[in-house]
Structure formats: structure tokens, C-alpha cells
Structure 1
Amino acid sequence: MGLIHALLGIGGFIIFMGYGILQIVAGYVGIDYHFGAVWAGVAIVAALMFRFILPIRIGAFFGAMDVWGWHWGLAALFAAPGLAFIIPAVIMSIIEGVKR
């Protein structure tokens, strides 16, 4: 059982890191497309050195949508996957507020 857990952990780590690298690539492509390579490099440095990832997230959205041609909804879920949990929670809290 320990080997299976270790393999699942290693596999999850590889998938998580691959997703992060793909987001950084999409962020670079999106910022480069709209503002140029210099600002894309600045955003990468800011993300890696100062943990300021907002420009990369926005760039990943526009990179996926404008450069790769994804639908805006899929691009938003790719750039900020937490939206998949936040939006239903907000809707449920609104419904709960109307019931009372």
C-alpha cells in the first residue's frame, strides 16, 4: 500500500508542476502578445522572485484566449481554477440569503 501512495504522490506532483509550467508559458505568451517580451520577462521575474502571480494569471487568461484560441470560460478556468469553487459558493450563498 505504501508504494501505491508514493506513486500517486509522485504522479500528482508531476501533474501539478506540469500545470504550473503550462500556466507560466501561457502567461508569458499572453503578456508577450499584448505588451511585448520585456514585460513578459518582468512578469516572470516578479512571479518567481516575489511570488506576485497576478500578472501571470491575467497573461495566462489572455494567452489561452487570444493566442491559443480557447473559449473565454475555459481560459478563465485554466488561469484561475479556484473559480470553479468560488462561483458555485457565491450562488449558493445568494440562494440561502433569499430563502431566509
Structure 2
Amino acid sequence: MTHTTLKTLSRDLHDLADEATDHLKDAARKTGSDASDAVTRSTKAITRAADRLRDEAESSAATARAQVSETVRAYPVSTGAIIVAALLATFALVRLSQS
């Protein structure tokens, strides 16, 4: 995820928490069907936010996949060398941590 996407995600989560908090405070002040309505509004707000976050995550993942695929196609030898180097570094770190 890009820095901008993370900032947007963070802002959306704060907005979601604020909205849900408002609804739940409203529910706490009320009883009976009024409380039930406030809880229902909270549930709908959380569902909307979850759907939006899922859509953004899917979009970000699709963009990242496309960029990686494009880079691998453009630089197959370099990409292969980087993958081998990363695997060797991982292997070395695992072995060092076991010593």
C-alpha cells in the first residue's frame, strides 16, 4: 500500500470509530426501540466502512499485482537475480539466528 492509501485508510478508520461511537453513545442514552435503532445504525456504518475498506484493499492489491507483473516482464533477469538474492539472504539470516 502506498503512503497516501495508508493515510486514507487511517482517516477512514478514525471516521468509522467516531461514527460508531456516536451511535453507541446515543444507544446508551436511550432504551427500547430507540436503542435498537441506534445499534442498527452503528451496524450499518461499520458494514459500509468494511465494504469500502475491502474495495480499496482489492484495488490496491490489483494495482500492486499489475506493477509487479509489468516489472518482471520488463526486467526478467534482474528480477530473477533479486529473488535469488532475497532467498539467499533469508537463508543466511535463518542460519545465523539458529547459531
TM-score range relative to shorter protein: 0.3 to 0.5
TM-score, normalising length from structure 2?
0.37
Judging by fraction of residues, say which structure has more helix: 2
- Greater Rg, structure 1 or structure 2? 2
